[in-house]
């Protein structure tokens, strides 16, 4: 069975032609990403003479945004594309375009005003996110088609912020080469792995930065959201095999987010953030040093050795992130968090669960035990954490 590498197609800012397809959730120097997936059998190429690519691009470009995501706790940036759904600035894109973001901005058609972005909600399972351009009004919108009526061999156009190049979006054309594909994609940099079902397959070239952009039919209507591309393997070429989420599914998820239906796999965009990387006290005691982060943010390793925890129950603080609620509270590496708002915390996962019930901006009383076995507490104002 043929195997190809499938990668999510957001791009590290500064990506250049010739890099492997990557999600780019680290800096531009982050290595390429790949995962194994069954390569679909593609339909034979057909003529796309029925497409007026120039007219489609002219119609759709003003309703697209270039998205830049600052990954403040990972020291990097990522770039992608978004589709404007409402004149007031609601934007549809992939979850992986904004995942881990601490600051997100967008620019329409690669020029003009740079908007600050609020994430209204995300669905990590289906890789969908709904954004709001702050202060936007009177914007041009995309026109949604019906992905249920898409047929193999149908000519299509893919538009997006390919390779995060300046200027207007990049336009490519091809056909729908298969329907209903299931793919597995992962990003070696972030560790994100996802399985996506029912995908539209196209031979229209899709590159890093295209994530969240539209796959369009001959009428310029959106039938899919570009999400991933096959980048080949050492034994097989897999160029120009891309995958898009059917727009009917993506639009339905967006409507649930808009309605505030945060259930199942749909999550709020902004989450309460204390600002600590934590580990189980028992793990620290057994190893004699802080291990892999649990309940915090990957990429922030603790010191080679850490103070011995004074209690075996709670969430051991491996690191306090700067300019956060935790850094202003007096919490320090080696402390063990044992309570939040009167609720006992017995593990890192329970700390995450308790904080998950609170909103950014809420005040919370944190209780902890120092390495010298002293109990301390402080009331903090929780911040807004990275997306995802």
Active site residues: 96, 127, 211
Residue 84, H or E segment? strand 76-84
Residue 317, H or E segment? strand 315-320
Q: Where are the alpha helices (DSSP H) in 187-313?
A: 247-258, 281-287
Residues found in the chain? 388
Q: What are phi and psi of 108, to 5 degrees?
A: -75, 130
84: how many CB neighbours lie within 10 A of its CB?
23
**Coil, helix or strand for 106?**
strand
According to DSSP, the β-strands at 128-133 and 114-123 are antiparallel
**Coil, helix or strand for 248?**
helix
Q: Which two tokens stand for residue 349?
A: 């996962």
DSSP string across 370-382: -TTS-EEEEEEE-
For the chain, the distance separating the N- and C-terminal CA atoms, rounded to the nearest angstrom, is 34
**Contact of 370 with 322, CB cutoff 8 Å:** no
**Coil, helix or strand for 104?**
strand
Torsion sign, CA atoms 349, 354, 357, 360: negative
Q: Which two tokens stand for residue 186?
A: 């992962």
> Which residues have CB under 8 Å from 161's CB, separation 6+?
11, 66, 67, 79, 80, 81, 110, 169, 170, 209, 210, 213
Q: Which residues partner with 159 through β-bridges?
A: 171
**Coil, helix or strand for 61?**
helix
Q: Supply angle C-alpha 61, 77, 207, rounded to 5.
A: 45
């Amino acid at each position: 069975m043929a195997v190809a590498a499938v990668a999510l197609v957001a791009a590290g800012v500064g990506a250049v032609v010739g890099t492997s397809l990557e999600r780019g959730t680290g800096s531009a120097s982050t290595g390429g990403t790949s995962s194994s997936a069954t390569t679909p059998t593609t339909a034979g190429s057909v003529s796309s003479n029925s497409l007026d690519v120039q007219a489609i691009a002219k119609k759709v470009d003003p309703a697209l945004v270039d998205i830049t995501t600052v990954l403040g706790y990972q020291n990097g940036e990522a770039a992608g594309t978004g589709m404007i759904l409402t004149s007031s600035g609601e934007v549809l894109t992939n979850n992986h375009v904004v995942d881990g973001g601490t600051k997100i901005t967008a620019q329409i058609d690669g020029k003009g005003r740079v908007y600050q972005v609020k994430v209204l909600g995300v669905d990590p399972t289906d890789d969908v996110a709904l954004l709001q351009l702050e202060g936007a009004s009177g914007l041009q919108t995309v026109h949604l088609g019906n992905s249920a009526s898409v047929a193999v061999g149908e000519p299509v156009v893919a538009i997006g912020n390919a390779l995060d190049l300046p200027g207007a979006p990049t336009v490519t054309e091809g056909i729908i080469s298969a329907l209903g594909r299931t793919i597995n994609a992962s990003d070696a940099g972030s560790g994100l792995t996802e399985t996506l079902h029912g995908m539209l397959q196209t031979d229209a070239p899709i590159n890093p930065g295209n994530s969240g952009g539209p796959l369009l039919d001959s009428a310029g209507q959106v039938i899919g959201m570009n999400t991933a591309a096959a980048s080949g393997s050492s034994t097989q070429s897999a160029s120009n095999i891309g995958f898009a989420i059917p727009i009917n599914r993506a639009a339905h998820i967006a409507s649930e987010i808009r309605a505030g239906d945060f259930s199942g796999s749909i999550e709020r965009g902004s989450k309460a953030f204390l600002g600590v990387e934590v580990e189980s006290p028992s793990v620290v005691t057994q190893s004699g040093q802080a291990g892999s982060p649990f309940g915090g943010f990957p990429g922030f390793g603790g010191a080679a050795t850490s103070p011995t925890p004074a209690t075996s129950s709670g969430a051991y603080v491996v690191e306090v992130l700067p300019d956060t609620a935790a850094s202003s509270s007096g919490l320090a590496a080696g402390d063990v968090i044992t309570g939040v708002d009167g609720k006992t915390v017995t593990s890192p996962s329970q700390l995450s669960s308790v904080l998950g019930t609170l909103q950014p901006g809420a005040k919370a009383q944190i209780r902890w035990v120092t390495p010298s076995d002293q109990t301390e507490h402080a009331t903090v104002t929780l911040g807004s954490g990275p997306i995802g």
